[in-house]
Every structure is written in C-alpha cells, then in structure tokens.
Structure 1
Amino acid sequence: MELLGMTTIFLLVCISCLLLFTTWRSTSQKRKQPPGPPALPIVGNILQLNLWNLPESLKKLSKKYGSVFTICLGPQKVVVLYGYDVVKEALIDQGDDFSGRGNLPLIKKLLKEKGIVTSNGETWKQLRRFTLTTLRDFGMGKKSIEERIQEEAHFLVERIRNTHAHPFNPASFLVHAVSNIICSIIFGDRFDYEDKKFLTLIDLLNENNELQCTVEAQVCTLYNFFPTLMEYLPGNHQKLTKNSEKIDEFTLGIIAEHQQTLDPACPRDFIDAFLNKMEQEKGNSHSEFTTETLSRTTLDLFLAGTGTTSITLRHGLLILQRYPEISERMQKEIDCVIGRDRRPCMADRSQMPYTDAVVHEIQRFIDFLPFNVPRSVIKDTKFRDYFIPKDTMIFPMLSSVLHDSKEFPNPEKFDPGRFLNANGTFRKSDYFMPFSAGKRICAGEGLARMEIFIFLTAILQNFTLKPTVHHKDIDISPIVSTLANMPRPYEVSFLPR
C-alpha cells in the first residue's frame, strides 16, 4: 500500500510539472514580443538610427529582424510593421486592435488630444462618426463639392495668369486654393486671395512646413522622445508651438463669430452643425461635443485638408518640370478629352488613363507620410506569433508598401507606366495606400483625390511649365523630415498655352 501511495504521489508530481511546463511554455510564447536591436538605457536605439533618414534605417533593420520588429526611441517602445502583408493584416484584418493613435508628444502638444486626429476611444469614435456624416451633408463626395473645386481651380488659373510668366514659388497659391475648399465646408465660405488675415494664416502654414525641412527638424524628432528635456531647450519645436497657437486663435475667432450668428434651423457649415450638436447634448455632462473638441476638430480638418493636397501638388509640379515629356503627353490627353475651354471634371478621369496614372505615381513616389500617422494597439494584442502590450506605439510603414520593389520595380524611379496595363488602360494596385488604410484611413481621401486631379489638370490645360534651370538638373527627391516627406523649394514660370 505504501509503495502504491508513493507511486501515485510521484505520478501526480510528474503530471503537475508537465502541466506547469506546458502552461509556462504557452504563456512564454504568448508573451513573446517582436525582436529588435539591443537598446541602451534612456536613449534606446537612437544612437543606432539615422535621424536624418529614419525610414532608411528602419528598412535596414527589417532585413535583419523581419517584417515585425521593435525599436526603442528613447524610453518609447515602438513596433514597426514593414511590408504590405503585415501592414494590411494589422490595419485591415485586425483593424480594431490597431485603431489607437500613437502618442507622439510633439503632435500631442501641437494638436492636443481633443480632435479627430489625435483622440482615442469613445471620443474618437463619436467625433469621427459625426464628422464623416456632417462632411457628407455639406457636399463631401457630391457634385456640389466638385463644382466648388472647379470654381477654385478657375480662380487659381487666373491668379497664375496674372504672374505674366515670371518665375515664382507656387507654394502659397496652392495652399490658398486648396484651403479654400475645406474652408467652404467647415467655415462656410472661401477667402479672397487678398484677405490679409487669411494670408497671415497661409504664411504660418508655409513656415511650419519649412521648419520641418530645416537642419533643426531633428530637434523636433528628439522632442518626441525626450519631451521634458526639450521643453527647456530652444529650437524649431518652440516656433512650431507658437505658430500653432496663432492658427488656433484664428479658428477660435471664427467659432466665436458663428456662435453669435447661428441659426439652429439653418446650419451653414461644419461649425454650425457642431454647435447644434453641442446644444443637443447640453445636459450630458460626459458629452464629447464641447467648444474645445470643436476647436481641435475644426483645426484638424483645416490642416489635414490643406497640407497633404497642397504639398502633393507642389511636388507634382516639380516632378513634371523634371520630365517635360510626361507633362506634354498629359496635355495631349487633356486636349483630346477636355479641350482648352471646358473646365475639367471627375467624369473625365475615366477617359484619361495616362493622367490618372501620373497622379497615382506622384502620390506613390513622394511617399508623403512614410511612417503613416503612428498608431497604437488599444489592448494586449496577439499579432502573428508575437505579443504586443496595450498602448504600444505602432509604425505601419507606408513607405514599405508604396516602394515595394516586387509590386513597383525600381521604386525610386518615377514611372507612371506602373499604373497602366499593356493596352493603355488604368491599372489598380492594392499597394496604393497613401491615405493609410483601415479604421483610421484619412477621412478626406475622396476630397483630396478630387482636388489633386482637377487642380493639376486645370493647370496643365492652361499652362506649360518652364523651370528656372535645365530640367535634367532638377532634384525631385523628397526632403525627409520627422513625419512627412517635403518637396524641395523651387520657382517655375507658367507659360500660357
């Protein structure tokens, strides 16, 4: 009996050990986080990375550590997703898990956390739902907004014509034209090109864009990982903050005017609709619709609706100067389909495959937001064979998708033929995602596509681009900055056709 008892105890101990080992192994595998280079205390991997060209550094690391890996930017742990398959799997297939907004202190400081871009959780869900519905109510994606873009393109063409073919930097003209479209939706009206108050705002936007391209742009990068220290140091991050405060004042002023002239029965624009929503939820102490969220969301829409499209157009015009044979072919297609007198419209695009291909290749080539706008996981997440803790920042590298060498051979070369089939028809690609993908895809994607096509087509319909240097000497490679790739400054003459 004693021997039987000892045997039973021995077997129970063995089974327990086996169960403990199995549980430990399962937990260990579940908790296995993505690999990455060894990190130093405090600075993390910053000394191992090229802050002048972080996308290139991450490309090299992906070759060593695979398509899912971890880096430490100061004390901040970041999981990098490199390649179409993992980006799609995260943002689309597991879109809910990866729907958080990453915590970059500089963006947080500039944009706060109350708008549609930087908010999370229930705040973000309610603001995005309301914003998309309201933008549609005021013409987004409809014929009315297309007519506004056509009208603004006409004003832009006339303004360019008044330069009398003298060389100039078109940045301000493009920012003003593009911003007037989103202004007509959120503020209820466009601004005259001579409006001094609005010109000051345009200058602030242009200055912030230029600050991202200067040597001190890396100071802004460091701010994201050492915010407490950088608060006490001079640099572009301080100037960016001051400029953003002035832009915020402009928005608050317009909101105050709307509050005084609001007719609840007849909302004129996004701000009026938001003010009505605030009144409806007046008794809800937990409402997400406050003056602060209105200010931030309005500013988010204004900045997003202005910056991305105007910078894409600026870069597009630079590229077309470098390749005059491409712009000439586009003009032949424009003359054939539209002619010289009628205004371009979106219905023309289906009959203009080459122009459509050029527009797509511009967006692919410039790779405007190489890191995407950083995401985060909203809960402990199992992704492939890895465990990613809640709130971990995610870099879904759009660069790795738009410059995928299998889908787009020689990705550093500008070639509209990538988006054309052998018979000359337009070729779609799942890898084309300059507006991101999934739950936090750009809310204004449809508007931006419409603006880029109509503005660019209207310009080439009326003008031939004449660079100030020989076209072969033009450098079209982007200036890599903290968050966005920017076009190099240039001047160009617009010769009437």
Structure 2
Amino acid sequence: VLNGFDAMKEGLVVNGDSMVDRPVLALQDEITGGLGVIFSNGNIWKQQRRFALSTLKYFGFGKKSLEPSFTRVSCSIYLTIFLLNSEGKPVNPHLIINNAVSNIICQLVFGHRFEYGDEKFMKLMLLFDQSVLLIYSSVQLYNSFNLLMRLLPGPHQTVKQIWYDVKKFIREELNQHKKNWDPSNSKDYIDCYLQEIETNKAQNDNTFDEENLIMCVLDLFVAGSETTSTTLRWAFLFMAKHPEIQEKVQAEIDRVIGQSRQPSMEDRANLPYTDAVIHEILRMGNITPLALPHSTNKEVQLGGYTIPKVTSQKTVVKFYVTTFLLKEWETPFTFNPSHFLNEKGKFAKKTSFIPFSAGKRLCLGENLARMELFLFFTSFMQHFTFSMPAGVKVVMDYRAGVTLAPKPYKICITPR
C-alpha cells in the first residue's frame, strides 16, 4: 500500500514502467477476459489505450467541439427537473445525473443519446448502479476462493450476470452499427473501431476485434461516467450544507456569464472560485480512496523496500492520506475552497492532488470528466439552488462500491 504523494509518485511515475501492469484477479478476469483498457496488460493494453486516446481526441474529447452535446443534454435535464418539481417535492437526483453524464458517453461511442425515461437505457443505468455496489462486496472473497465460489450462489453471480447483460446491450448497438457502417464516414467510436479492425487484419500482433471493442466501450462508460456522476451527487450535498459557498459560486457565475447563455470551457479561467469549489468537492468527496491495483513486471525498489516480480502481487495506491494530509491542506477535514486559491483569489493547482491517478495508467476519461464536472456543475449553479427539505439535515454518509458514493437522498432543486 502506497501512502502519500511522494510514495505514489515513486511507484506510479518514477517506476511507472515496472508497475504498469494489473494483477490477474479471478472475478475481473472472468468478466473482462483480459480485454479492453482498464484491466488488460501488455500489447493489448498498449494498442487499445493508444487507439482510445487518439480516437476520443479526434471526436473532441474534453474540447470545445464537444460542448454542443452538453448543451443538448443540459436542456433535457432542466426540463426533467421542472417536471419533477411541478409539485414542489424534493427529488432524488441520482437517475437524472446518471442519465445526463452517461448520455455524453453514448453520443461519443454510439453516435446518439437516449431520452430520459427510455426503458432500455434506464435498465442499463440500473445495471451499472448495481454492479458498482455489488462488485465491492464480492470481489475479495471470490478472488481468494474462486474455484469454490463459482459453485455457490451470491452477489458474485449477480455481478457476472449484470456484466453479461451490459455487454449484450453493447453488442446489440455494435450489430446495428455494422448494418449501417460507412467506412468513409466514421461518426463515433464504434465506427472508428470497425475501421481499425479492417485496417489491422493482416498484422501479426493485431489485438483489434469485436470482443475487445465491447470491453473498450464498457471501460469508457466506467471511466467517463461513474466518477463524474458520483462527484456531482456529492456536489449537491456540499452546496446544500454550505449555502454561503453556493451563493458565492452563483454570484461569480452571474457576474461572468449571466443568465442568458450556457457556460463554456472558455469561462473557466474567469471563474476561479467555482473551479476551486469543484476541486474541493473532488477532495472532500474522496470518491476513489483506493486506486485500481497495480502489479510489478520486474523487481522494483519502493520506499526502501524490495517488491518482487510476482504477477499476483498487488500494490494498491491509497489516496486517502494525500486527500486529508495535514501538511498538504490548511484545514484538511473542512470543506474549504481556499485550498485551491492563491492570495490573489486565483485558482491554484495542487501538484499533490491527483484524483485521476498518475503515470501510464492515468484515468482514460480524465479530460472528459473534468469537462463534464465544470460544465454540468456551473450550469446547475446558474439555474438552480440546492437545499434540503424543511427540517432535514444534510447527512454526508456514503456507501462503498467501486467509488464512495453518497447514500440515496432527496433534495429540493429550486429554479433561480
């Protein structure tokens, strides 16, 4: 376990080549087959990650050209919230946020988005929700006693069935793409991948096939939606708990953007307080206290210790200490946006704050996640005020899964 920024930097950056691999764990291996980007190794990982990064960059991943997609999704969210609020009742924002964030990925990957309430899409979102919770409770036991656990009922069987159903959903989208595919006009990630399959057919080291495509799409959903959705749900709670901070964010947005236009990434430089609040939400929400496991592909020295070359050896990077370490933060256990502001009130980046990991396994969806967080959060603050129902206190309890997500809650979303 690597505790602290210096140890993580030594492990993930300085010794990044030696610790770039993932350990082969039973449950993950049965689900992924060692394919995709997140849990693959070697040539598969190198080829799939390189293709994913270049293709997503081509489609404006994290860039201004993607902003119209956010505008369309945001307008859909506003209408949904107004309809849900028609009787003045508090709402659970979970499905609204999941729908919005996941639809950005759908636009990139499938070339279209789903309407709120679409039965097929809502089922997919519920499957994702169930899996990120259940996999946490079942993975350790299954990985330790997988031969026995395969024969027994339990949450691990549910997890495997869920991922089977999710992959089936993706396969149906893939089959539809193949029917209408025009090699001269790639409209989305799947189109580009189909072209890559054709291009690399004759290559001896080719790793591009439909099974890898399906896992890559699944990985993109995980990388680009789960962390963002969870962070936004924490954001609403923090704003309800700290109304004075919410008011300062809204005042800055009103001054810089006003009410007549949608926020843009170009506004970020002129919204230092809002940017600082988003980063403080990431810090206090602490949604990924434990990074995905790494394994050594050769003997390596870490912190004065020798870590042997053992593929089953896990080195788990723990973020908790860097997130709440006293020497890094003035008030580590207090929600304080000033942690990310300098003496002139300008946004100040913290080099030791790495919510999306570091090194060669840096989160594939970091650029998109940062863009989603800024545009969605700023847009919500521009149009709504978040508060708890009368007589209800803000409770910051969490439930552990792939991420630390807030327990289900209902909140009042009042149009400004």
Q: How does 1:55-454 map to 2 (within 5 A)?
A: 80-163=1-84, 164=86, 165-211=88-134, 218-390=137-309, 391=311, 392-454=313-375
Partner of 1:495 in structure 2?
Answer: 414
Residue by residue over 1:460-496, the C-alpha shift from the partner in whole angstroms, topping out at 9 and shown as x without a partner, is 111111212546x322243334x42121110112111
In 1, Cα distance between the equivalents of 2:115 and 2:332?
40
How big is the shift at 1:283? 2.5
In 1, Cα distance between the equivalents of 2:394 and 2:197?
51
Whose radius of gyration is greater, 1 or 2?
1
> After the TM superposition, which of the residue ranges 98-107 and 372-381 deviates more from structure 2?
98-107
How big is the shift at 1:225? 2.8
Pair 1:146–1:287, CA change in 2 (3 A)? same
How big is the shift at 1:341? 1.6
In 1, Cα distance between the equivalents of 2:24 and 2:285?
25
In 2, Cα distance between the equivalents of 1:479 and 1:469?
24
In 2, Cα distance between the equivalents of 1:247 and 1:370?
26
Q: What runs of 5+ residues in structure 2 fail to find an aligned partner?
A: none
In 1, Cα distance between the equivalents of 2:332 and 2:159?
33
Partner of 2:386 in structure 1?
Answer: 465
Pair 1:136–1:219, CA change in 2 (3 A)? closer
8 Å Cα contact 1:110/1:241 also seen in 2 = yes
In 1, Cα distance between the equivalents of 2:181 and 2:108?
16
Residue by residue over 1:274-311, the C-alpha shift from the partner in whole angstroms, topping out at 9 and shown as x without a partner, is 11111112233541001111111111112221211111
Partner of 1:17 in structure 2?
Answer: none
Pair 1:166–1:210, CA change in 2 (3 A)? farther
> SS at 1:382's partner residue?
strand
Residue by residue over 1:184-211, the C-alpha shift from the partner in whole angstroms, topping out at 9 and shown as x without a partner, is 1111111121322112111212233454
8 Å Cα contact 1:182/1:301 also seen in 2 = yes
> SS at 2:72's partner residue?
helix
Number of residue pairs matched?
412
In 2, Cα distance between the equivalents of 1:418 and 1:493?
28
How big is the shift at 1:384? 4.2
TM-score where L is the length of structure 1:
0.79
8 Å Cα contact 1:380/1:388 also seen in 2 = yes
8 Å Cα contact 2:133/2:400 also seen in 1 = no
8 Å Cα contact 1:322/1:474 also seen in 2 = yes
CA RMSD of aligned residues (A): 1.8
8 Å Cα contact 1:153/1:454 also seen in 2 = no
In 1, Cα distance between the equivalents of 2:106 and 2:277?
28
How big is the shift at 1:128? 0.7
